[in-house]
Amino acid sequence: MHLLSILVLHGPNLNLLGQREPGIYGSLTLDEINRLLQAEAKKLQAKLTILQSNHEGILVDAIHGCLEQHQGILINAGAYTHTSVALRDAIAAVNLPTVEVHLSNIYRREDFRHHSYIAPVVIGQISGFGVQSYLLGLQALTHHLSLS
């Protein structure tokens, strides 16, 4: 049986989950979210490589490194969603199926959060469901990849 390989990227400040604005982002820590993702990946017969970074270039390098290693990307780019042409261009350059996820509903928040540079180059976006956004995103990505 061939396992799908998926890169999971967490952007800036997500290392502070559980203590950072729990009313917006929930009380789960990033480690807890990663454990839930790993458990879901096992059910979906996928293998995850998970990386969190507060540094845009590290995230760009990880996306570049996907070629020949992974079949898809699950990304919560955090604030870089709204600012990073570099992440957008990296995702477009590797041309791997990518799903964008957000814990909060970015369209119910400040106006500057309503625009995603990443959205036009991903296969889909899920936001507003807390940790379920990640799990739904992983399910959607593995389903998409199984059809390819």
Catalytic site residues?
A: 25, 102
CA 125 to each of CA 81, 88, 101, 118: distance values in angstroms, whole numbers, following the listed order: 11, 14, 6, 9
Cβ(17)–Cβ(26) under 8 Å? yes
Backbone angles phi, psi at 28, to 5 degrees: -75, 145
92 Cα distance to chain centroid: 15
Helices (H), the chain: 22-25, 30-43, 56-64, 85-94, 131-147
Cα angle 131, 136, 138 (rounded to 5 degrees) comes to 100
Q: What's the alpha-carbon Rg for the chain, to the nearest Å?
A: 14
